[in-house]
Structures are given as structure tokens and as C-alpha cells.
Chains A and B, each alone.
Chain A
């Protein structure tokens, strides 16, 4: 079956603009995670959803970042007033259930560049 997909694959924007990044998880996966990966670093956790609710948003860097998953499937990560420091690859992952023993399947990522 299809894996996790993310759109767009690349996004170039100007400082101060608003962007939305989309994630389509594997069908039937109840848990969805967002991570951010800067060049030469490992992914850093941002937020995760169990169903429609954000169960842990402790990794969101500030209130310019927000994510939704209104129907428990597709999720959108929204960034307001983008800054150059937001440039990174944004990764989405899904798993059948939340919890450390369940494998997370990662999407290819969205590369965000803020000019």
C-alpha cells in the first residue's frame, strides 16, 4: 500500500509569509508525528496526534507553529510569519498506534526554505 506522503516536496517562501505543509499518513494509522530536521542534525520532535487531538505539542518552538488533524487522517503543519531560522526539512511519520514499541513510518519530507 501507499506510504506516508508529504506535499509539497519543496517550498520556497519569503520571510514573514505564511506556509502550510501537508501530510497524508498510511491509511488506518491513528498516530501522526511531525519532526523538523536541520542540515546535519537528527530529526527533532514537534508534535504528535492521537486521532484528531494533539496529544503532545511540547516540541513546537513557539506560537507561530500550529498543526491540525481535523478528521484523524491528513494533517497540516502551519507556520505563520516565517523566519529564516525555520528553514529545514519537515518530516511526518505515522504509526498504527502511539507508543514506543510501534514502528513509525516516515514520509520523504518537505524542504522549506525561507529567504
Chain B
């Protein structure tokens, strides 16, 4: 079945460092891909998405490109801030799943130090 694998955390960075969180997926066809973020004490929020190959999703300085050839959707940010500290989840919605249910990775905790 469809699945998502993320790099394990926690990831600890200094402010203004470059961030990459790896995400790879297994799915039939061309799923939609998402990054969700969970800030401390808050609910899950959609960060960005891409619905077809080679699309780039972007929001709040974060970017991720849908790579069909490597089945990847890595999250990047050029300069992280303390306020980016959160848990990040990669997710997919399969092409044959018309209802849109999400399949999540296990999450990657990011801690940014001043």
C-alpha cells in the first residue's frame, strides 16, 4: 500500500541555518503530496502542497518539489528562525483514493536555537 518515509529527528539547527527534511513516498501513479506542520500546543496546519510531478509548493519561505523520478518531496528552507521550531509531517493522498484521506510520515521534530 501507499506509504511515506521521513528522516528521523530531532533535527537541531542554529538560527539562519539551511534546512532540509527528507521525505520519500511509495504510491501508485501520481499522488498529491503535502507538508503539514504542528507548532507546540497547536493543531496540524497545512504548510504547502504539490499535486503533480515537478510542481513546487512554497509557503513562509519553505519549499518542496514533487520529484516523480526519485519519489521524493523534500522540505527546504534557506534560513530558519526560532519560530520554525515544530514537528513537520510529510503526507500523501493517493490517486486512487478519491476521498482524499491522508497518509502521513512519522514526523520530524525541528528545534532552532538562537
Residues of A within 8 A of B (CB): 3-4, 31, 33, 35, 40-45, 48, 50, 55-56, 59, 91, 93, 95, 98-109
Contact = CB atoms under 8 A, between A and B. Distances in A.
A10 B105 CA distance: 25
A109 B43 contact: yes
**Binding site secondary structure of chain A:** loop
**Binding site secondary structure of chain B:** loop
14 contacts: A3-B43, A31-B100, A33-B101, A40-B106, A41-B107, A43-B104, A45-B102, A55-B99, A56-B99, A95-B100, A98-B99, A99-B99, A99-B100, A102-B100
Interface residues of B, number: 27
B99 A50 contact: yes
A103 B46 contact: yes
Contacts, number: 73
A98 B103 contact: no
B98 interface: yes
Contacts of A43: 44, 89, 102, 104
